[in-house]
Structure 1
Amino acid sequence: MLKLKFLHNIENKIYFIPTLYAVIATIFSALVVYIEHSYSDFLINNIPALFLSSYDLSKTIFSTIAGSLFAMITVSFSTIMVVLTMYSSQFSPRTMQDFLKSKVTLKVLGLFIAGFIYSILNLLFLEDNIAAPGEPSFFSTIIGVIIAIVCLGYFVYFIHHAANSVQVNLLIENLKKEIIEIVDKIEARNDNNELIKNEAPDDLKEKMKREFCEIKATKSGYIQVIYDIELSKLADKYNLIIRAEKMIGDYITENSVVFKIWRAEHKEETEIEIEELKAKVNSNLVISNERSKKNDIEFGLLKLTEVALRAISPGINDPNTAIFCINQLGWVLSRIAVANIENTYYYNEEGEVCFIMEDISFWYLLYKTFYQLRHYSNQDVSVAGSIIDALVIIAEGSPENIKEQVWKFSDYIIDGFDKEVLEQEDKKYLNHKIYKLAKETANKDNKEKYFDVDSVKGVSWK
């Protein structure tokens, strides 16, 4: 488990991929230099002269490549800073890591660093005594040329990637895909594991009445990962019931109770046993000073919401972007509504519950997604209408309990509109949206939510 936590922590660092590429380049460069010095006669006799170069030519080529790649690194770094500034000011500070930690950005920087290291090391160990003076004998040069061409291609691709990244529609689409991927991953895991269920055991309340032990966090920060499968195995091994009191994305301190533990059967405990148990349980928790986008559904929804909020702010005033973003939020929530990810109970082979993770409810996600948008768009008819459209998207294809929640939640949304600024045509427009929602949720006969208008001529409610 410590190995998994170490890998997770290091993979989240920006320097991980560039450092990995640098280490590989160093090893590869040392290998090429060793082969070139130890088997020079074999290389000269078996490799076509076209692929070999002289000492002077190799020195010139490596010097040129090293300088060019260093210039590419500088330009790439400047481009990254410009994009990050735009992300922070135009979109949301929380979205900066989506560009900075994207695989394309890190791999491009890693490749440039690797090419620079390869060139500078080969230039350092270049010697003019491998073969006869002036005779082509260096094959490392052709490898350097190939690396330089590949780096040039990646540089063009990086510019294309940076240009696409500042297009808000593509950013919103990528944010949506990230959330859907998390939902798909969790649902696939739950569906393929017969020991993970949504139903609690009948005697769970009785078991929860027993004496329990609280486990607090070892440090403050955001929960990035809870190794639920490992915790369920640990609980089964020691005859325990473990319940997570905090979820992924929650901010905790050293005083926060993260887990509660019950003994499945009465058993005397010692302080040593309890401390050892606490250490084992806490080892299955990853805490960091920032939220991670890998497993945090709520964080993904938060970023989409912030992009929409920034778009409707007076400084930017881009309601169409907000509408597009809200439509994507509706699609994401509609996917979550039918996914098997809520309130998971982990059982052992004997059918006894051993780990409980009662995740955030759909109603809570619905509220956290739209409550700020409701407040800041209470005078914008287009954005308010798009929120109702998003509720229609959520209701479409959802089970009856979700439809009922969406219809009740629409009361909260509609009551937040500033009715004093709505003209007659605005009310007709919103009434049409409300009717579509009422029709989708089987509430057509409910007329209480409609705005009072003098005339509805030209508006069909059928």
Structure 2
Amino acid sequence: MQRIHRIIDTIQHELWPLPILGIAIGLLLGLGLPALDAALPEARGLVSSGVFGGSPEAARAILTTITGSVVTVTTLTFSMTIVLLQLASTQYTPRLLRTFTGDTVVHVTLAVFLGTFAYSLAVLRTVRSSTADHDAFVPAISVSFAFVLAIAVVVLLVVFLTHITRNIRLETILADVAAEGRSALARAYRNSRPGLPPIPDHPAEPIPSSGTGFVGHVETEALAGLAAERGWVISFEITPGDFVTTNQTLARVRNTASPHHLTADDVGLLVSRVNAAVIVGRERTTVQDPRFPIQQIVDIYNRALSPGVNDSTTALHCLNYLGSLLGAIAGSDVRHALECDDGGTVRVFMPRPTFTELASLILHDAVAFGRDQVAIVDKSFAMLREASLCDTSRRYTAEIEALVDDLAAMVPLGDFSPRDAEQLRFSIDAARRAAVSAAGHPHLIADFRS
């Protein structure tokens, strides 16, 4: 299942898989439909009388026009996509590029455009004029289908233009990233367990990394089978989203049945298998990293409050969506991930970001960069109050109370007017009261996750 998620993520966030598939389908149709035309002369004649009945020269002209036009439209689409990526990178954050390259509409549009181009070229080669050796051949069915594809290209161009103008809006970007964040949270904490597992205090063998880059994915399920077979416990010291370097310790392995060190052969096997399970890449992904979508929104927030921009409205929009993620986190069991064998013995331990780490990532910059603005500070403590209401199981009462105290210490109440300072004191006290209160609103969890 973990590997399937990784493959799906790769297909979704690379620009080439669907366009390549479109070209392949276009070529297959361009070879198959003319053969069907040749095999069904009666159907070809029916199409010729009702849809396309032109000469070979007319068929060539139509196919040539379609081919040239589609190339032009495809070039325009690529250009607009590149401009969109550049705009998102400079205006919001470079870490949003992955979100835009994963846009399904862009992938489908490019696939249809390039598939139509490949199809038209393939059909064009089958059109024959009458010669001394051959009769004229006009694949009427194939040419008619090319006409249908040309109409589809025009419709998709309009859809693409509408879609791209909507997607460049800040509200759409934040909604998409927040939705991806909720999905990342569900994947990251799917097999979490409360507390730390009991691990024997036996000698641990460090397993070094063989690569450098961001940890995008760790296939713990595959390692759990090996650990159960050999009687090992694999305790990772990294988590998806971390940056690792060559020879950095990825994990430590203990033999649960023996206090002795692992043999050299066992260590060699573990180095190979653990490095194969830890997928390292050039960029972060959201497959198992719940911090990355949060960091994307925080980056937009920080840029909005930078001295050169100073856009508090954009910052508040970011806090709205960060608040929705904080509510989802508070309503979840945010614990470390474990893989157990059939007997319930822990075989793989994977540390995950704790509630405090995720909440601090969301709120620290909000208060640090916006502490001189009443609306920003007030919203930050309102987010903690809402998170307390979502924490219906009261798992994070102490953590939320500590966060309220830490963030309150960062707010210079003396720099505000008496009225604003009083409002902020009320917000801070309300967040603190909500943290220690036993009352919660279960319906808020569904609201945040919707």
Note the 1:358-397 alignment, pairs <5 A: 358-397=351-390
Is 1:428 matched up with 2:422? yes
Correspondence for 2:243 among 248, 251, 257: 251
Note the 1:164-313 alignment, pairs <5 A: 164-187=166-189, 189-190=190-191, 197-198=193-194, 200-201=196-197, 204-205=198-199, 207=200, 209-266=201-258, 269-313=262-306
Shift of 1:254: 0.7
What SS does structure 2 have at the residue aligned with 1:441? helix
Q: What corresponds to 2:104 in structure 1?
A: 103
What SS does structure 2 have at the residue aligned with 1:72? helix
Whether contact under 8 Å (1:2, 1:283) holds in the other structure is: no
Distance (whole Å) between structure 2 residues aligned to residue 356 and residue 164 of structure 1: 43
Q: What corresponds to 2:444 in structure 1?
A: none
Q: What corresponds to 1:41 in structure 2?
A: 41
What SS does structure 2 have at the residue aligned with 1:427? helix
Residues 95, 5 of structure 1: alpha-carbon distance in 2 compared, 3 angstrom cutoff: closer
Among all aligned residue pairs of Structure 1 and Structure 2, give the percentage whose two residues are the same amino acid.
Answer: 19
What SS does structure 1 have at the residue aligned with 2:233? strand
Distance (whole Å) between structure 2 residues aligned to residue 114 and residue 243 of structure 1: 48
Q: What corresponds to 2:410 in structure 1?
A: 416
Whether contact under 8 Å (1:18, 1:109) holds in the other structure is: yes
What SS does structure 2 have at the residue aligned with 1:222? strand
Instruction: Normalising by structure 1, report the TM-score.
Output: 0.86
Give CA deviations for 1:380-403 in whole Å, capped at 9, x if unaligned: 221111111111121112133423
Higher mean C-alpha displacement, 19-28 vs 49-58: 49-58
Distance (whole Å) between structure 1 residues aligned to residue 381 and residue 2 of structure 2: 47
Higher mean C-alpha displacement, 8-17 vs 321-330: 8-17
Note the 1:67-82 alignment, pairs <5 A: 67-82=68-83
Whether contact under 8 Å (2:3, 2:219) holds in the other structure is: no
Residues 367, 49 of structure 1: alpha-carbon distance in 2 compared, 3 angstrom cutoff: same
Distance (whole Å) between structure 1 residues aligned to residue 437 and residue 354 of structure 2: 23
Distance (whole Å) between structure 2 residues aligned to residue 186 and residue 409 of structure 1: 23
Give CA deviations for 1:316-339 in whole Å, capped at 9, x if unaligned: 222122112112112201211222
Distance (whole Å) between structure 2 residues aligned to residue 137 and residue 164 of structure 1: 41
Whether contact under 8 Å (2:330, 2:390) holds in the other structure is: no
Q: What corresponds to 2:446 in structure 1?
A: none
Q: What corresponds to 2:145 in structure 1?
A: 143
**Cα RMSD between the aligned structures?**
2.7
> What count of residue pairs does the alignment treat as equivalent?
432
> What letter corresponds to residue 229 of structure 1 in structure 2?
E
What SS does structure 1 have at the residue aligned with 2:206? strand
Whether contact under 8 Å (1:242, 1:262) holds in the other structure is: yes
Residues 372, 141 of structure 1: alpha-carbon distance in 2 compared, 3 angstrom cutoff: same
Distance (whole Å) between structure 1 residues aligned to residue 104 and residue 9 of structure 2: 16
Q: Which structure 2 residue ranges, 5 or more long, are not aligned?
A: 439-450
Give CA deviations for 1:19-45 in whole Å, capped at 9, x if unaligned: 2222222222222233334x1535435
Q: Which structure 1 residue ranges, 5 or more long, are not aligned?
A: 191-195, 445-462
Distance (whole Å) between structure 1 residues aligned to residue 261 and residue 183 of structure 2: 45
Whether contact under 8 Å (1:49, 1:136) holds in the other structure is: no
Is 1:441 matched up with 2:429? no
Give CA deviations for 1:217-272 in whole Å, capped at 9, x if unaligned: 11100011111222212211222111111000000011211121112223785433
Q: What corresponds to 2:163 in structure 1?
A: 161
Instruction: Normalising by structure 2, report the TM-score.
Output: 0.88
Shift of 1:138: 2.2
Shift of 1:421: 2.7
Distance (whole Å) between structure 1 residues aligned to residue 8 and residue 268 of structure 2: 25
